[in-house]
Amino acid sequence: MLWRSLEQLVFDNTYARLPEAFYTKLAPTPFTSVPSVVAFNAEAALLIDLDPQEVTRPEFARLFGGSLLLSGMEPLAMLYSGHQFGVYVPQLGDGRALLLGEVVNERGERWDLHLKGAGRTPFSRDGDGRSVLRSAIREYLCCIAMQGLGIPTTQALCVVGSDDPVYREQVETGAMLLRLAPSHVRFGTFEVLYYRRQHEHLKVLADYVIGLHFPHLAKRADKYERLFGEVVERTATLIAQWQAVGWAHGVMNTDNMSILGLTLDYGPFGFMDDYDPAFICNHSDVNGRYAFNQQPMIGLWNVGCLAQALTPLVAKEALKASLDHYHRLFQDEYLRLMRAKLGLVEEQTDDRSLIDDFLHLLHESHVDYTIAFRTLGSFSSADGDGNDILRDLFIHRERFDDWAVRYRDRLRSECSRDDERHRRMNRINPKYVLRNYLAHLAIEKAQQKDCSEIDRLAAVSRLPYDDQPGMDAYAAPPPNWGKHLVVSCSS
């Protein structure tokens, strides 16, 4: 690989060549205090061929603290709209983020450099355009955690902090997060053009997305229909992955939905501790619209909003046909993942009841979701083995015993070997997830100028399926105070 310095990054800003109706060009607003690097992800640097040693240069913090631009950058705030908590908002856009430019690596891969917390833009409304340190750290860590879990996500390169005050519920310090993605086009990017009746621009955007990210569709007569079909599939399978790992997004507005099926915009997210299908991770979501068990249907609702935006390009019947596939696509992927989490290799008619009944046991006994599935990997199918470690997780042990008989019979019907199944299950049931209380502890230390816990938690999160010596504390259930942390949209 050819390592590059900051000045050697190769920019090709295709979004800046779209019509000006798509964005507003402007520079970041730098911090007034001296910026410093709080966290740096060397693995993300590899995506753009950036030499990891560049983080030691003063120019690095200046660049991603908003006070320096490289030759070839063309910073801009992207325009979009979207449905927020079910209500259409005509104009949103990058209110505190800027697309600095698009870097092309030596493999020809294209990566947006998107700076979050970069100051006011024309789309900021009444906001200050800033991010606070805690939200930048949370997004940085969760990008790494989701990547480690194998779930499609934006990437995080770094967090740059400052002593600048930012006013939220209390006075906090400001930070900027540099995130990477092949594209930051959202469902809402299409919606704003549709509702403004800029249908020619809508076609330009669809052609742009197809040309860069779905090139196999470019010459098809039905390319827009096929594009929507692939977005539906990516969205359905993404949310199935969220459900299987026990993760809630918290704010599944259409402006937070990636056209590429990436997990986008980490705000009040949360990995479940005790299993609760109605888990709400966003304390602002008073009606539970984005509760954990609502995510699959909200995914369908959101692609329905995208379908409406594409009606000038695609016949309604074709859009409806793709929407009709969503439920099957989601269910197929979800059941595939849940079978694997139970160590099952064959598809049988009673799979759903076996899965659902285990989840019901977890719910009624308030069992930790991640720990339960990881422990299930050690289940013994031998006669007379009570599987005491797993059994003792449950309050109603006799109900677990009844389920365990069914599970043992199911494993035997496949001639399952415990050792092989254990290895297989450990490759899909993580030992470590980014629990809110762990992120909270890392943030508290960082606010005292100690960033070591961010690096330690990031390292654990990169290998969530591996047994990591000396790191068992990160796999333990949270203390009682850690189960009830309030997370909001405030950032």
| Per-residue pLDDT reduced to its tens digit, 89-98 | 998 999 999 9
State pLDDT tens for residues 115-132: 999 999 999 988 899 999
Are residues 89 and 61 both part of a single domain? yes
In a domain, 139, yes or no: yes
The total number of structural domains in the chain stands at 3
Write down the residue that tokens 């049931």 correspond to: 429
Catalytic residue among 49, 94, 112, 255: 255
Which tokens go with 65?
Answer: 């603290």
Active-site residue flag, 255: yes
Say how many C-beta atoms besides its own lie within 10 A of residue 459's C-beta: 14
Are residues 224 and 178 both part of a single domain? no
Integer angstrom CA distances of residue 251 from 203, 352, 489: 28, 28, 8
| CA–CA gap between residue 110 and residue 10 (Å, rounded) | 10
Helix ranges (H only) for 365-435 are 369-376, 388-391, 397-413, 418-426
Q: Tell whether the model's pLDDT for residue 491 goes beyond 70.
A: no
| CA–CA gap between residue 7 and residue 30 (Å, rounded) | 19
Q: What is the extent of the structural domain holding 10?
A: 6-184
Global pTM reads 0.97
Burial of 328 (0-12, 13-18, 19+ CB in 10 A): exposed
| CA–CA gap between residue 401 and residue 399 (Å, rounded) | 5
Q: What is the mean pLDDT of residues 361-372?
A: 98
Q: Tell whether the model's pLDDT for residue 488 goes beyond 80.
A: no
| CA–CA gap between residue 402 and residue 404 (Å, rounded) | 5
> Which distant-in-sequence residues (6+ apart) come within 8 Å of 104 by Cβ?
10, 11, 12, 110, 111
Domain boundary among 386, 406, 426: 426
The separation between the first and the last C-alpha atoms of the chain, rounded to the nearest angstrom, is 37
Q: Tell whether the model's pLDDT for residue 489 goes beyond 90.
A: no
Q: Tell whether the model's pLDDT for residue 260 goes beyond 90.
A: yes
CA angle 176, 182, 185 (to 5 degrees): 80
| CA–CA gap between residue 176 and residue 31 (Å, rounded) | 9
In a domain, 483, yes or no: no
State pLDDT tens for residues 381-413: 998 777 999 999 999 999 999 999 999 999 999
Are residues 369 and 330 both part of a single domain? no
State pLDDT tens for residues 51-87: 999 999 999 999 999 999 999 999 999 999 999 999 9
| CA–CA gap between residue 206 and residue 215 (Å, rounded) | 12
As a whole-number percent, the residues of the chain with pLDDT over 90 amount to 95
Domain boundary among 184, 216, 248: 184
Run of H or E residues at 251:
none
Q: Tell whether the model's pLDDT for residue 484 goes beyond 90.
A: no
Q: Taking all residues of the chain, what is their mean pLDDT, rounded to a whole number?
A: 96
Domain boundary among 184, 217, 246: 184
Are residues 135 and 260 both part of a single domain? no
Are residues 149 and 42 both part of a single domain? yes
Q: What is the mean pLDDT of residues 213-226?
A: 98
In a domain, 382, yes or no: yes
